[in-house]
Amino acid sequence: MVFCKSEPSAWSALSFPVWKGQNQACGSTLSPRYRQDLGSNPKFAVPAWLWRGLKFWLSASDSCLSNVRGEGNFLERCDDWGVDTMKQIQIYDGEPAKIKCPLFETFLKYNYSTAHSAGLTLIWYRIGQDRDLEEPINFRLPDNRISKEKDTLWFWPALLNDTGNYTCMLRNTTYCSKVAFPLEVVPKDQGSCVSHSIKPVEQMFYLEYANEKITCPDIDGFYPASVTPTVKWYQSCRLVDGFNERHPQGSKLVIGVVRSAYEGNYTCIVTFKDHGRTYNLTRTVKMKVVGSPNKALPPQFTSPNEKVVYELEAGDDLVLPCEVFFTFLKDSRTEVWWTIDGKNTDDIVDAKVTQSEIPRRFEDKTIIRTLTVAKATPEDLKRNYTCYARNAKGEGHSQAIVHMKVAAPKYTVELACGLGATILLVVVLIVIYHVYWLEMVLFYRAHFGTDETILDGKEYDVYVSYARNAEEEEFVLLTLRGVLENEFGYKLCIFDRDSLPGGIVTDETLSFIQKSQRLLVVLSPNYVMQGTQALLELKAGLENMASKGNIKVILVQYKVIKKSKVKELKQAKAALTIIKWKGEKSKFPKGRFWKELQLELPVKKIIRSSSPDGQEPSYVSLRNV
């Protein structure tokens, strides 16, 4: 402590401690807040004669100031803990409130009584809203609305303009320590019993526990023990009255059986009188339902497990998640860690570990701790990877099964060649089938087909219907008959050749058609003339094919028919395949015309006998037909 000595005078014997201001040293430039304390605070009241002497001393010469600056002043140092934002206090407008100086709760090792006994004084200051200067708190307001008691500041009641930063300073002439904290006075939301900006106090209750109690918090000390206040309980601002398993009992709300449906915010409003005034205290408790300790379990591993195998090739990133489920246990530590060959991953440089947490119902949770080994070597894939987990109920572990994948042989060239050859083969087969499909079908019929002419009950294989004029008759008798009977072995029924004289044409025609497996119709312009036998044959064949299905009609277009008014012929041409005769191109017995015609005819096995000289019989030449 430094004493400022003035020039010799009547006050030369007076020695007085000096506090240094921001840029000042002696009493003549003392900080305004200390001057106000000396003049207005009863604890600093001095006699009038001493106050006059003090004023004279404050006007001391500049030599005093220089001496003080030269020697230095210990009290210019004050342990300032800044603004304790963790201590932010919110109180309701119009309600009583009390706040304690946080110095004794957090920053100092002794309590207020010890400090007071040591001669330290607690001083309160505030910086109001929209203000920069710190000023002492006025404890002389009407009705003593703001007062202090030991280390507690009281508001009877708090008002909106009380919002600001409050500082409590503990000091004497040799020691100084202070801390500030924010105070916010909040109005209630319109139409609500609370303000949603004030965070409620959280209380945990075990699921399915009976006769639990929610206690209205922070109401002690506001009214004497002789006063019985009125307490009303609300859930989400709905009065608790007749609620299932929830019954108010003064400052406590009894929960018959704790259920998850009862979670939520419960508000107690305490009403009491003091000095003729009625006050309300509003407190909100958030009820949180947590898992019962009776059902708590040791750590439960989801992965890794024996059903999951991690197969990787050398050089791949090895990623191993360890997923563990923890039931709620109050004040229990939950730990998850990996070991590699029995060593903690903290001691292994190449291993990277990350952790995430997923909250579950009733404060249960799942912890996922992921181990990553970048570009794993073959040696890495042979190591032992084990995940451990622990809580207050016990400890467990689970090993990850890691195997090195054997790389499949890479036959790139072989696969490409094989695929190309397969595609080429498919294309060739498609082309061959498209060009030679007739030959392939006939080959199959000849070697594997069943002979349809055996035991079919038919006398003829084919009945030939044609127009009776010279050109069509020559085509039928020479060309068709020559190839079908001589080369293919079919038995043809030609009416003009096989009918007996004197018979009824209609009856014999129908009889011949019924005795034949196929009706071969040779179409030409003369065929469609009305009233001809050819049309009778066509109609009979189509009717038989449609009704009984024991005959099949084959259309051979000998000459083009431009237009036809015959209804039956139009229907036949629309429903049946037409085999076209192309003159000279179609005369060769192995040509496409005969193959298409043979495909429509019944399957017939042909047994060819060799000639006496060992040569195959030649086909009938149609060149001169």
CA distances from 221 to 156, 218, 249, 342, 483 (A): 13, 9, 20, 58, 128
Buried/exposed code over 130-160 (b: 16+ C-beta within 10 A; e: otherwise): eeeebebbebeeeeebbebeebebbbbbbee
Hey, which residues does 580 pair with through a beta bridge? 557
> Count of CB atoms within 10 A of residue 41's CB?
15
Q: Which CATH superfamily hosts domain 79-186?
A: Immunoglobulins (2.60.40.10)
CA distance 29 to 73: 14
Q: What fold characterizes domain 296-404?
A: Immunoglobulin-like (2.60.40)
Tokens of 5: 């000595």
User: pLDDT class for 31, splitting at 50, 70, 90?
Assistant: very low
Strands 460-465 and 492-494: parallel
Judge if pTM exceeds 0.75: no
Q: Where are the domains of the chain?
A: 1-77, 79-186, 201-290, 296-404, 460-600
Top mean-pLDDT range of 368-377, 440-449, 558-567, 587-596 = 368-377
Overall average pLDDT of the 117-143 stretch: 86
> Which residues pair with residue 122 across a beta bridge?
170
> In the structure, what pLDDT confidence band is assigned to residue 414 with cuts at 50, 70 and 90?
confident
Give the pLDDT score at 48. Answer: 45
Record the tokens describing residue 600, joined without a space.
Answer: 């429509």
Q: What is the mean pLDDT of residues 275-299?
A: 93
CATH of 460-600, one of 3.30.1330.60, 1.10.3210.10, 3.30.530.20, 3.40.50.10140: 3.40.50.10140
Q: Sorting pLDDT into bands at 50, 70 and 90, what band is 109?
A: confident
pLDDT digits (tens, 9 = 90+) for 7-18: 333 333 333 333
DSSP state of 485: I
Confidence at 530, pLDDT banded by 50, 70, 90: low
What are the tokens at 621? 């030449």
Residue with tokens 């006025």: 138
Strand-pair partners of 390: 335, 395
CATH superfamily of 201-290: Immunoglobulins (2.60.40.10)
Q: Which amino acid is at 234?
A: Y
- CA-nearest of 467, 578, 568 to 526 is 467
Residue whose structure tokens are 């015609």: 597
What's the confidence (pLDDT) of residue 606?
67
How buried is residue 514: exposed, middle or buried, by Cβ count under 10 Å (0-12/13-18/19+)? middle
Span 566-624, pLDDT tens digits: 777 787 787 788 888 988 888 888 888 888 888 888 888 765 544 444 444 444 444 44
Per the model's pLDDT, the better-predicted residue between 434 and 364 turns out to be: 364
- Contacts (Cβ under 8 Å, ≥6 apart) of 210: 256, 257, 258
Lowest mean pLDDT among 447-451, 504-508, 532-536, 612-616: 612-616
Closest by CA position to 37, among listed 148, 180, 135: 135
Q: Which pLDDT belongs to residue 38?
A: 40
- Residue 464, classed as helix, strand or coil, is strand
pLDDT confidence band for 76 (50 / 70 / 90): low
The reply to whether domains 201-290 and 460-600 share a CATH topology is no
Q: Measure the CA–CA gap between 381 and 403, rounded to whole angstroms.
A: 6
When comparing pLDDT for 453 and 420, which is higher?
420
Average pLDDT score over residue span 507-516? 88
In the three-class reduction of DSSP (H, G, I as helix; E, B as strand; rest coil), residue 54 is classed as helix
Distance of CA 399 to the CA centre of its chain: 28
Cite the active site residues.
537
CA distances for 545 relative to 113, 338, 554, angstroms: 123, 84, 11
* pLDDT 10s digits, 149-165: 999 999 999 999 999 99
Rg of the chain in Å (alpha carbons): 58
Are 464 and 522 a contacting pair, CB within 8 Å? yes
101 has a pLDDT exceeding 80: yes
